[in-house]
Amino acid sequence: MKRRVRLPSTLLFVAPLLAAALPAIAQDAPGPIVSIIGGLAPDDLLNIRVTASPSGKVAARLPNGTAVKNFGCNVVNGYPWCKVEDTQDAHIVGWAPARYLSPNNPAPAPEDAAAPATDANLPREANAPESSEEPQPDIAARLGRSEPAAPPTAIDISAIAMRDAYALAFAASATSQADAPAPDAAGGIPCARHVGQPMTRCEISVAHEGGDSVVTVTWPDGGTRLINFRDGKPAGSDSSDEFRFTREGSLNLIRIGVSERFEITDALALGTDTGE
């Protein structure tokens, strides 16, 4: 004899609701994590690039300690790059080397995680303004607040001032590099000689001996600087000032003392492109 089992009426009412909710729950994707930029020299800035490549266009430069949204990371040409967005300025979106971000995001970067960093998305200072009379948001809006409930503190004002200073420095650098001749035509490298000077372009020549090389940089206003490479990596210079460098893929970001800056690719140093 068959037995009939009657479900409680409450379950019969709730079951359809659970069935409808399960697909939505399953489709929820984990959001981005917040990573902190670190590992740079004290006076260095991290390049946020439009594409995941050391030769990609620079969309912005951010200092140590900056918090960014990390949407995920992809391995490109053997190096992990993460898609990021500045937590304080949503216009700053791009790719950064994973080794300068902590914690890292193990998830792959989705294609639609954030809008690509096109010229239209760059900070206003980095592009020609549409109108010199364009209204600027008040400091409360700059700090991500909906309304200025209280006067800004000294810390708030300092944070905005530092961000504006970095934006202005980047804008001057972008303008200077846009006016400079293309690397293939000029045979030069990005360089700067003085504190606060935007990157310009210096002529170079390269001498090779075995696996080593010497890059001679000629300053636009006269004088030279010799940079030594050993086993394909920067090793020193003819200056007595401190020599240090970081790498972004195949690009060497070199600092000498407190003011001199150079960007030299492995291809240049190893002799596949002499720049002459």
What pLDDT digit, counting tens, does each position of 134-178 carry?
A: 344 455 555 555 444 556 666 666 666 666 666 666 555 555 444
How high is the pLDDT of residue 6? 60
How high is the pLDDT of residue 203? 92
How high is the pLDDT of residue 154? 65
Question: Half-sphere exposure of 120 toward its Cβ, with a 13 Å CA cutoff?
Answer: 2
236 Cβ contact list (under 8 Å, min separation 6): 227, 228, 243
What value does the mean pLDDT take over residues 184-212?
A: 82
Please give the share of the chain, as a percent, with pLDDT higher than 70: 59
How high is the pLDDT of residue 164? 66
What value does the mean pLDDT take over residues 78-97?
A: 92
How high is the pLDDT of residue 107? 87
Q: Is the pLDDT of residue 75 over 70?
A: yes
How high is the pLDDT of residue 28? 46
pTM of the complete model beyond 0.85? no
| Mean pLDDT of the residues in the chain | 74
How high is the pLDDT of residue 218? 92
What value does the mean pLDDT take over residues 45-73?
A: 91
How high is the pLDDT of residue 179? 46
Give the pLDDT band (50/70/90) at residue 121: very low
200-236 as b/e, with b when 16 or more CB fall inside 10 Å?
bbbbbebeeeeeebbbebeeeeeeebebbbeeeebee
Does 120 or 28 have the greater pLDDT score?
Answer: 28
What pLDDT digit, counting tens, does each position of 230-275 carry?
A: 988 999 999 999 999 999 888 999 999 999 999 999 888 877 544 4
